Amino acid sequence: MIRMYKLLVFSSVLLAFTFCCQSPKSNHIVHDTMEETYYSPEDFDRIEKIDAHVHLRTDFDTVFVQQAIRDNFRLLNISVYTSPRLTPEAQEDFSLKLIEKYPEVVAYGTTFSLEGFTQSDWEKKTLAYLKESFAKGAIAVKVWKNIGMELKNEQGELVMITDAVFDPVLRLIKEEDITLLGHLGEPKNTWLPLEEMTVQGDRDYFRENPKYHMYNFPDLPSYEEQIAARDQLLANNPDLRFVGAHLGSLEYDVYELAKRLDSFPSMAVDMAERISHLQHQAVTDWEGVRDFIISYQDRLIYGTDLRAGASDIQAKGLTEPEEISAHAHQVWLRHWQFFTGDEEMQVPKVTGTFKALKLPKTVVDKIYRINAEKWYPGIRH
């Protein structure tokens, strides 16, 4: 009897230990052992890092490059087609100029124009332009939220990324072993009133950009329809290497994002302008956020969306180069503190306090460099 009792006690302890080592809402085991080592704030400018999502478009934006060099960052400069006014060609020309001046620091991703989308020669022109961009060194192609939210066909219907017209483009991207970077859909917050949005960054952005505040346009496709189209794209193209910009527009819930990463092995996500959403969730579910990052450490890519016209820069009225540089440094340093520290934090975009994540070095290295090099082959010149 005594032997049986001891066996039962040992089994109970073993079960309890196993349960405690699991994420509270996930079946993924978190491997965080006594042998793990950690970075400190002092390591920030010593460790090689990549910001894999910035938008540098003018000579003024070279202040970001200079600060990146001081903070030991390389940059992936992303072109994006938002309107005929900002052409892919002009953005590419500036990226190439940056690369010529900073070949060890800057890489670039191209995009394609939607001008003349309904015309018969759009496909031919688009494929020719992308081939030329790849020959010049583009390592990614960006598609933006205007596909699904603005672009219309000849019948006046909104066009989703799953439309057959994009099939030749996707085929070329796969054949050339290029990564598709997709900003498809928007934060779930945009379907809410401003006062109900969860983070200040979204309140600022959609106040300044009301045409993308979907709460005011109930007749347009819903958040769920936007995400379903993106998911269908991945289901239709399982061999497409895809990075979902901005936490894949699933920024509001790490558990929902985990489901997509489980479903689509060829999908990773960058964190550009959505780290505040992780911090918001950490206020009430710190363990869940940390467990998610450790469990999916091979699928998460650091990025910021830094650009001179960003909402936080405009809100602060920053205009001088030294002000922009200081802002970039503060953003990068604050994120490093979140991922590597263990103190209580408060940040401008989040209501409440949360604890920094104290991630192991191995996880931090993947988020800040290794994953970008894996998901964007060619990012290291």
Query: For residue 81, what are the domain limits?
Result: 29-375
223 located within any domain? yes
Could you list the pLDDT tens digit for every one of the 381 residues in the chain? 434 333 433 444 343 434 334 443 444 434 444 468 999 999 999 999 999 999 999 999 999 999 999 999 999 999 999 999 999 999 999 999 999 999 999 999 999 999 999 999 999 999 999 999 999 999 999 999 999 999 999 999 999 999 999 999 999 999 999 999 999 999 999 999 999 999 999 999 999 999 999 999 999 999 999 999 999 999 999 999 999 999 999 999 999 999 999 999 999 999 999 999 999 999 999 999 999 999 999 999 999 999 887 767 876 788 888 999 999 999 999 999 999 999 999 999 999 999 999 999 999 999 999 999 999 999 986
Q: How far apart are CA 161 and CA 179, in angstroms?
A: 16
Torsion of CA 112, 115, 119, 123, to 10 degrees: 0
10 located within any domain? no
Encoding tokens for residue 158? Answer: 């909104």
pLDDT in tens, 2-51: 343 334 334 443 434 343 344 434 444 344 444 689 999 999 999 999 99
263 located within any domain? yes
pLDDT in tens, 322-349: 999 999 999 999 999 999 999 999 999 9
285 located within any domain? yes
Q: Total domain count for the chain?
A: 1
Cβ-based neighbour number of residue 15 at 10 Å: 10
Q: How far apart are CA 143 and CA 245, in angstroms?
A: 10
Site of tokens 């992936």: 76
279 located within any domain? yes
Q: How far apart are CA 299 and CA 266, in angstroms?
A: 9
Q: How far apart are CA 69 and CA 74, in angstroms?
A: 7
- Do 158 and 239 meet the contact criterion of CB atoms below 8 Å apart? no
238 located within any domain? yes
Catalogue the E-assigned strands of 32-84: 49-54, 73-78
User: CATH number, domain at 271?
Assistant: 3.20.20.140
170 located within any domain? yes
- Do 367 and 49 meet the contact criterion of CB atoms below 8 Å apart? no
Distances (CA, A) of 163 to 55, 108, 187, 202: 27, 26, 22, 29
6 located within any domain? no
Q: How far apart are CA 275 and CA 303, in angstroms?
A: 9
DSSP 367: I
